[in-house]
Structure 1
């Protein structure tokens, strides 16, 4: 009968230890795994960063669309056309005051 008590006490300790190891395994991978808690936090931060970048790009696109709309033949703005021509040709109007800055 001594053998039965030794085996039953070993089984009584071994089963909870194995259960705790299995639970520990799932908790560890639930926190640090590819789809775990920390990974989801990192993905949320990345999504927020990319949404901010998307908002910035949309504002830039709207600004560019407004400039393009001013250069369309149907609604050609003479001031915008003159400004673009001066920038592209690197010239100034005779009545313009040009301030030259010294290079550092």
Structure 2
């Protein structure tokens, strides 16, 4: 009868835990710092908030422009609006007027 004698190796007992730690460490790091990780999600939330505020300001500006276009459109010319635009384009005013440019 043959018997095998194995030395008690400490290295053999550490292989599986070392591979497991490396595996979990790799995926743990990328779940936090990766392209689709938690940090990227936070950056995306900040970007979304800034884009929403930018969108709100652009929508407000567009509504303002649509109102001005509606006042200058066919059939319903508003004399005050037409006078304001003409004075602005020609850079003229009456002597008793105060002109404030909003830019």
TM range (shorter): 0.7 to 0.9
Partner of 1:15: 16
Deviation of 1:89 (Å): 1.0
> What is the CA deviation profile of residues 9-62 of structure 1, one whole-angstrom value per residue up to 9, with x for unaligned ones?
322222111101110010001111111110111011101111110111000000
Distance 1:98 1:77 in 2: 20
Runs of 4+ in 1 over 2 A off after TM superposition: none
Deviation of 1:74 (Å): 1.6
Pair 70,99 (structure 1): closer, same or farther in 2 beyond 3 Å: closer
TM-score (norm 2): 0.83
* Structure 1: segments with no counterpart, 5+ residues: none
Task: Indicate whether 1:71 and 2:72 are aligned.
Answer: yes
The structure that is helix-richer by fraction is 1
CA-atom RMSD in angstroms: 1.7
Aligned residues: 95
* Structure 2: segments with no counterpart, 5+ residues: none
Task: Indicate whether 1:42 and 2:40 are aligned.
Answer: no
TM-score (norm 1): 0.82
Distance 2:41 2:49 in 1: 12
Partner of 1:61: 62
Distance 1:57 1:22 in 2: 48
